Amino acid sequence: MQIQNLNGAVSSRNHVNISGKGTQPLLFAHGFGCDQNMWRFITPAFEEDYKIILFDYVGAGKSDITAYNRERYASLAGYAKDVLEVCEELQLRDVIFVGHSVSSMIGMLAANEQPKYFSKMIMVSPSPSYINDGDYVGGFERADIEGLLDMMEKNYIGWANFLAPNIMGNADQPGLGDELTQSFCSTDPVIARRFAEATFFSDNRQDLKYNKLETLVLQSSEDMIAPLEIGDYLEKNLPHSVLRVMKATGHCPHMSHPEEVIRLMKEFLQHKL
C-alpha cells in the first residue's frame, strides 16, 4: 500500500492519507470512538481500483488537536465542514463517501450543502437520531446518554499520546505497526465527551429528505446503537437509498465482518444492488 502524505493545511490538520491505484475517489470517514485506522480491514479490497482517502476529524486520531474549536465541533455541521474542507483542498469531484455511524449523517449534511463534490454515499450502521421520540425508535433515552457522557469523562485512552504524539515513538520499538498502534482510538476525555454529545443528541431526521445521492445503507442484524427499526426508518425516509440488513452483528461490522461489508459495497458500486 503506497501512502501519500499531504502537506496542505487541511490535509495535515485532518491527517489525510491517500493510497490506491485508481482515480475514482473513495473517501472514508470514521465514526465516534475511533479514527481512520478503523477502515484498515476494508480499504485493501479497494486499493486496486480506487483512490482511497482517509482522514481523522479534528480531535480524533492524529489530527491537529490545537485546531479543535468548541463552538465549531458542538454541532455535526462543524464536522461536516471538515469533510467539505478536505474535498475542497484536494479538489475532489464525484466522491463516493463511506461513513461509519455518525459519519453517515455528517457525510449527508456535507453532500446536502455542497453536492458538487459527491456522487454516491455508503452508510455503515447509520442513525438519523438516537433518542426515542414518540413513535420513533432511536434506541435510547436521554438519561442513558448522560451515563455514557459520564463514562467518557473517566476514560483517557492514549491520552498522553495525544498531548505529546512523539513521546512513545522511540527507536527501541521499530516498525510501522508499533508506531501506529500507539495512537489507535486515542481519546481526549473532554473532546470525546463533546463528540458524544454532538453525536447522540443530534437529530437529522428532517435533513434526510434532501438527500439526492444514490445511497447504500448497511444495517447490522443486531446493533444496539442502530437497531433494526432505524434501518426501516431510513428505507422509508431517505430518498434514493437501498437498505441491506447484514448477517453481521454489532455496531462495527467493518471491523467484525469486513468480508460481508466489502461484498455489499462492491455490489452497490457495480450497480448490482
Partner 1 sequence: MQHLYKHIPCVYFSASADGNIADVNEVLCKYLDYQRDELVGQKLENIFTLSTRIFQQTHFYPLLQLKGHAEEIYITLKAKDGAHVPMLINAERIDEDGEISFYFAGICVSKRKKFEDEIIAAKKAAEKALNENEALKAAKKELEQHAEQLDLQIALFNQQNKELRQFNHLATHTLQEPVRKLLFYSSQVVETPQDAKNVVAAQKFKKAIEDIQNKLQGLQQYVWLSNEALKYEPIDLSDIMQSAKKLVEQQNPGISIVLDAEAIPMIEANAEQMKFLMEELFTNATKFRKPGHVVNIKVFASSLQLNKFRQLPGKYKFVDFLKLQIQDEGIGFEDPYQDQAFELFRVLHPSGGLGIGLPLCKKIVENHNGSISLEGQIGVNSTVIIYLPLEPDKELQIYADMK
Judge whether 220 and 253 are in contact, CB under 8 Å.
yes
Residue among 57, 54, 50 nearest 3 (CA): 54
Pattern 220-259, binding to partner 1, x per CB under 8 A? ---xxx-----------------------xxxx--xx---
Which sequence positions are flagged as catalytic? 101, 223, 251
CA distance linking residue 94 with residue 107, whole number of Å? 13
- Which of residues 31 and 126 has its CB atom nearest to partner 1 in the complex? 31
Residues 102-161 that bind partner 1 (CB under 8 A): 109, 112-113, 116, 140, 144, 147-148, 150-157
48 binds partner 1 (CB under 8 A): no
- Which of residues 165 and 250 has its CB atom nearest to partner 1 in the complex? 250
Residues 196-225 that bind partner 1 (CB under 8 A): 206-207, 210, 223-225
38 binds partner 1 (CB under 8 A): yes
Starting from the edge strand earliest in sequence, which strands make up the sheet with 241-245, in order?
Answer: 4-5, 17-19, 50-55, 24-29, 95-100, 118-124, 214-219, 241-245
Q: How many residues make up the chain in this entry?
A: 273
DSSP assignment letter at 140: B
75 binds partner 1 (CB under 8 A): yes
Interhelix angle for 142-153 vs 189-200, to 10°? Answer: 160
Q: Which of 71, 270, 271, 272 binds partner 1 (CB under 8 A)?
A: 71
Q: Which of 181, 190, 228, 242 binds partner 1 (CB under 8 A)?
A: 181
Count of residues in contact with partner 1, rule CB under 8 A: 47
69 binds partner 1 (CB under 8 A): yes
CA distance linking residue 108 with residue 41, whole number of Å? 24
51 binds partner 1 (CB under 8 A): no
Which residue blocks in the chain are alpha helix, DSSP H? 9-13, 76-89, 102-113, 142-153, 159-163, 176-181, 189-200, 228-237, 253-256, 258-269
Give the range of 1-9, 10-18, 37-45, 240-248 binding partner 1 by CB under 8 A.
37-45
- Which of residues 68 and 136 has its CB atom nearest to partner 1 in the complex? 68
Residue among 108, 101, 58, 41 nearest 263 (CA): 41
- Provide the pairing of β-strand 17-19 with 50-55: antiparallel
- Which of residues 136 and 184 has its CB atom nearest to partner 1 in the complex? 184
Which residues would be at the binding site for partner 1 (CB under 8 A)?
31-34, 37-38, 40, 69, 71-72, 75, 77-78, 81, 101, 109, 112-113, 116, 140, 144, 147-148, 150-157, 181, 184-185, 187, 206-207, 210, 223-225, 249-252, 255-256
